[in-house]
Amino acid sequence: MTLIFDPLAKREYEDAFEYCEAQEEGLGEKLRSAVWSAIAILERFPEIGEEVRPGIRKVLLRRFPYKLIYSVTDDAVYIIAVAHGHREPDYWLGRA
């Protein structure tokens, strides 16, 4: 299964990494590990996330207040957003 990041989701991921790393050295790497662990699960079990809109799912990251918003096609997982749990809900809808 192919993994595709929306360009804005990629930027959110990079920003979250930089923010966490600025808070505590090594925390950004822990976030990176949590994101890629979640992605590895999604690639094997793409329907595992809770459906938040028709065709759009979310999976929460362990130990971090972030969630991956994604959609699934026959051969790809498309990451729509790396959303902070306290950010305005559904701000990413225009990307889907």
Whether residue 58 lies inside any domain: the answer is yes
Residue 1 to residue 74: CA distance in whole angstroms: 8
pTM of the model: 0.92
The answer for residues whose C-beta is within 8 angstroms of residue 64's C-beta and 6 or more apart is 16, 20, 30, 31, 34
pLDDT tens-digit map of 13-26: 999 999 999 999 99
Residue 55's CATH number: 3.30.2310.20
Residue 90 belongs to a domain = no
Kindly provide the b/e burial profile for residues 30-44, where b requires at least 16 CB atoms within 10 angstroms of the residue's own CB.
bbeebbeebbeebee
Is 19 contained in some domain?
Answer: yes
**69-88 pLDDT tens trace:** 999 998 899 999 999 988 88
Report the number of distinct structural domains present in the chain. Answer: 1
Q: How many CB atoms lie within 10 A of CB 52?
A: 15
Domain annotation covers residue 39: yes
